A and B are shown apart, each in its own frame.
Chain A
Amino acid sequence: MDVIGIISQLVFFLIAALTLAAGLATVLLRNVFHAGLALVGTFFGVAALYLMLEAEFLAVVQILIYIGAIAVLILFAIMLTRSLMKNEDSNINKQWAWVATVIVILFVGLFILILQVPWQHSGTAVYTDLVPHLGTALLTTYLLPFEIVSVLLLAALIGAFIIARE
């Protein structure tokens, strides 16, 4: 393996480690606000993974929507519901041991599965401007889902407003 390969693997492991660490912090941190900030970190890590996968558009969209909108929304909700979570004895519920068992089995199963399947790499290195193709695909092949998703967003907008207003 050449030097560039080694470096890119190093970069990948760094990103992966940071992403997983932030993910772990998200689910384990006691303070919900800190967990929210760790979630932001995870989102950044995933965006970096998208960059490694040469999906720049998706990486930017990830930052714009996940961090700029969803994470901010979550932090907002945390602030609005903040006072009651101060003196909580534990942030983990009673069934956590069962959950841990299940996810460990799940992860091991998935890992074995991933190793077992003979994946075929057919991807070749493509660095071109993918966005025009993406836009065309969205407005032709995927027009119907696109429209449905926009209607869904409108419904969610109105629904969230109706549910949350006083």
Chain B
Amino acid sequence: MDIWSFITNPFVSIYELIRGGLSGLLTSVGVPDEIVRLIVFLVMGGIVVTVLLIVAPVMMMYMTWLERKLVARMQDRIGPNRAGPFGLLVPIADMIKFLTKEDIVPEGVDGPVHFLAPIVVVIPVILSFAVIQFGVGMGAVDLNLALLYLMAMGSVATIGVFMAGFGSHNKFALIGGMRAAAQIISYEIPQILAVAVIVLLAGSISLTGIIKAQSGLFGLGWFIFYLPVGPIAFFIFLLAATAEINRVPFDLPEAESELVAGYHTEYSGMKFGLFYLAEFLNTFLISAVGASLFFGGWQGPFVQQVPVLGIVYFFAKTIVLIGVQLWFRGTLPRLRVDQLMNFGWKRLVPATLALILFTASFLWAYRLFNQFLTGLGG
């Protein structure tokens, strides 16, 4: 391994070094091959998971900071500015607060359900991170069913929301939970259909495949540029995904003016912190997925030569998309329940169906045209 490739691709290089060293060590000690592979698999998996589990909460903490800053600017305020420079230590203070606050369990709650709900909400999100491709060759797993897997994980979170709403023994929580569940299953459909458009374009349901399909045009052949399908699909995806994770303007399940705090009304301390974590990780997740599907993920100029640029591109795109969602939050009012359901079922679903039909027929015509061109050449 020469120094240039180490500099241009440091993370993967370090990973490869550790793996090579470990397996070499074990083989030289005389451990059978099969066991070596098993141990290396477990150890390297552990390392990747640990890195992910550290990066994700840190990311989330600074997203809360970003949200406060941005929303404050939109509301003509300064935002956090006391703890540390530009208030950069506020998230840390927040975390300490969450960890040290008393965990109140109200009377009459359904004990195990109430206890497990925040965990069930957080786990699918973290599991989803397994398939995200953070850079060139930097995904925990390169699953060939990655998109389907992401959708499946997104739908599992509903169970957690249900548990929180039902287990709290509180009518606000119950209504919030039911609203959340109805909203999630309603908006799951346009989301999956919008993603299906991209699947049609890329001809793959693996995230790597989709990102690779956008490598044209000097790393800028992103699906968002596929007019007119790309922007429309992206718009629908963004709306549906925002609704699916219950953020403004679709934050009815936790509408503070109607339902106190929705399904997590009865949570405090670190359990509330987990809900909070899940919400921000979800925001990060859908931004990352959106960036991968529509903006080429880690694709960009010179990424083939300098792979580490991929991480920069990926995070830049993701943060811009997060910014867009925060912008929603800063500017848009909340919808009513009937408006929400009507919009989902009567506007988004038909629109996405039409879009799929259009894309498919367009691709068909394009293929025919290509055949024609081939005929010309022959």
Direct A–B contact in the complex, CB atoms closer than 8 angstroms: yes
- Chief secondary structure at chain A's binding surface: helix
- Given contacts A72-B185, A75-B162, A131-B205, are A67 and B156 in contact (CB under 8 A)? yes
What distance in Å separates the Cβ of B51 from its nearest Cβ neighbour in chain A?
A: 24
* A166 in contact (CB, < 8 A): no
Contact A72 B144 (CB under 8 A): no
Closest partner residue, chain A, to B148 (CB atom): A60
Contact B34 A76 (CB under 8 A): no
Using Cβ atoms and an 8 Å threshold, which residues of chain A touch B328? none
- Chief secondary structure at chain B's binding surface: helix
Contact A79 B113 (CB under 8 A): no
Option from B34, B145, B149, B155 in Cβ contact (under 8 Å) with A69: B155
Contact B181 A76 (CB under 8 A): yes
Contact A79 B166 (CB under 8 A): yes
Using Cβ atoms and an 8 Å threshold, which residues of chain B touch A131? 144-145, 205
Using Cβ atoms and an 8 Å threshold, which residues of chain B touch A57? 145, 148
Contact B145 A60 (CB under 8 A): yes
Tell me the bound Cα distance from A47 to B110 in angstroms: 27
Taken residue by residue from 40 to 84, chain B's Cβ proximity to chain A (1 for < 8 Å, 0 otherwise) reads as 000000000000000000000000000000000000000000000
* A33 in contact (CB, < 8 A): yes
Scan residues 154-200 of chain B and give those whose CB is less than 8 A from a CB of chain A: 154-156, 158-159, 162-163, 166, 174, 178, 181-182, 185, 188
Tell me the bound Cα distance from A33 to B109 in angstroms: 13
What distance in Å separates the Cβ of A47 from its nearest Cβ neighbour in chain B?
A: 9
Count of CB-CB pairs between chains A and B under 8 Å: 72
* B38 in contact (CB, < 8 A): yes
Contact A33 B181 (CB under 8 A): no
Using Cβ atoms and an 8 Å threshold, which residues of chain A touch B163? 37
Tell me the bound Cα distance from A67 to B151 in angstroms: 12
Contact A4 B156 (CB under 8 A): no
What distance in Å separates the Cβ of A64 from its nearest Cβ neighbour in chain B?
A: 4
Taken residue by residue from 1 to 29, chain A's Cβ proximity to chain B (1 for < 8 Å, 0 otherwise) reads as 01110010000000000000000000000
Using Cβ atoms and an 8 Å threshold, which residues of chain B touch A61? 148, 152
Taken residue by residue from 97 to 120, chain B's Cβ proximity to chain A (1 for < 8 Å, 0 otherwise) reads as 000000000000010010000000
Using Cβ atoms and an 8 Å threshold, which residues of chain B touch A56? 144-145
Taken residue by residue from 61 to 74, chain A's Cβ proximity to chain B (1 for < 8 Å, 0 otherwise) reads as 10110011101100
* A129 in contact (CB, < 8 A): yes
Tell me the bound Cα distance from A4 to B42 in angstroms: 13
Option from B35, B148, B153, B158 in Cβ contact (under 8 Å) with A72: B158
Binding site for A on B (CB under 8 A): 32, 34-35, 38, 110, 113, 144-145, 148-149, 151-156, 158-159, 162-163, 166, 174, 178, 181-182, 185, 188, 205
Q: Assuming A3-B34, A56-B144, A75-B181, what are 8 further A-B pairs, CB within 8 angstroms?
A: A3-B35, A33-B166, A40-B159, A61-B152, A63-B155, A72-B181, A75-B159, A79-B166
**Which 4 A/B pairs are nearest by Cβ-Cβ distance?**
A68-B155, A63-B152, A64-B152, A60-B148
